[in-house]
Structure 1
């Protein structure tokens, strides 16, 4: 099982790269990558805007970075690029599942990611999503049986489209405060 960490966005509403915002002594991108690495599988970080600065925050971590030139078209293309890169790594060509996550969800930690994997192992559900604020979203784990759906997302669509497609196949893990992210200056002020 591998992880695709989406860190390609331009942070237009924030005005500077949210991936580089420092929270609890670490940038958001490094914090998310370290949580992903706790799962023990390959981790692919998809970069786009500000790719050099964000990549430098991952120095020393055993992650693979992938630059996605069409990042501005939306998350679907970034997700597909990350999945392709993950499947191309020597330790993940036959991956049974992929966990998709963002770098700016403040309540996501290694324990939550492990809970998603444990739910998948215990239920065999094709999709295991985080549940927060009345919705199902990422981080979410997708079994190999739905990889084709992830690969066929249009650029403007995100993983939530696959999660919502067939609700009966989705298991969930509660993520209290899961909607807390860093998109605007107000969100950033709340962190401090």
Structure 2
């Protein structure tokens, strides 16, 4: 099962590309790759943009030249870069550092049990990461636009979605602002 980490944004509200931010001595991009890998994903593709020369050990880097148009183009670039043998991919976001490897593993188990689309939920609320079977990649790519990734596809196809409760495993909070980063740095030892 492949992993896809979306890490292209400039972090406009944060003031720096989120992929390069350090938390607990580790860049968010490295943390995201580790989470996907430890959760059972291989290979892993990382979509970059605002930091085009970003090196990403343990993953294949794909640069999205249209990164500034929003997450939709990065999702399309990542899905297009998936290896031919991949039957599904877990799509994760670089700015959710407290999503853990067991969340990824739980999504992979849902796929093994027959789900072709699995969405991590936290106390019943759908968030990320999201597992998408290859048979849906084209439709997901077509519906991804602007800052909307897979959400339009998921809403249009509720019968395909398996929600996987992960509130007992992780915190899906994201880092968008300097204040969010300060809170994450204060809490970094809670989930590591």
Into which bin does the TM-score normalised by the smaller protein fall?
0.7 to 0.9
Q: Show structure 1 runs of 5+ residues with no match.
A: 87-91
Match of 2:135 among 140, 145, 162: 145
Q: 1:89 matched to which residue of 2?
A: none
Q: 2:179 matched to which residue of 1?
A: 186
Q: State the shift of 1:153 in Å.
A: 2.6
TM-score by length of 2: 0.87
Q: 1:29 matched to which residue of 2?
A: 29
Q: 2:154 matched to which residue of 1?
A: 163
Q: State the shift of 1:83 in Å.
A: 0.9
Q: 1:63 matched to which residue of 2?
A: 59
Aligned length, in residue pairs: 181
Summarize the alignment of residues 1-192 of structure 1 with structure 2, pairs less than 5 Å apart.
Answer: 1-38=1-38, 39-52=40-53, 55-56=54-55, 58=56, 61-86=57-82, 92-122=83-113, 124-132=114-122, 134-156=124-146, 157-176=148-167, 178-191=171-184, 192=186
Q: Which moved more, 1:140-149 or 1:16-25?
A: 16-25
Q: 2:89·2:134 contact (CA, 8 Å) conserved in 1? A: yes
Supply the RMSD in Å over aligned alpha carbons: 1.7
TM-score by length of 1: 0.87
Q: Secondary structure at the match of 2:95?
A: coil
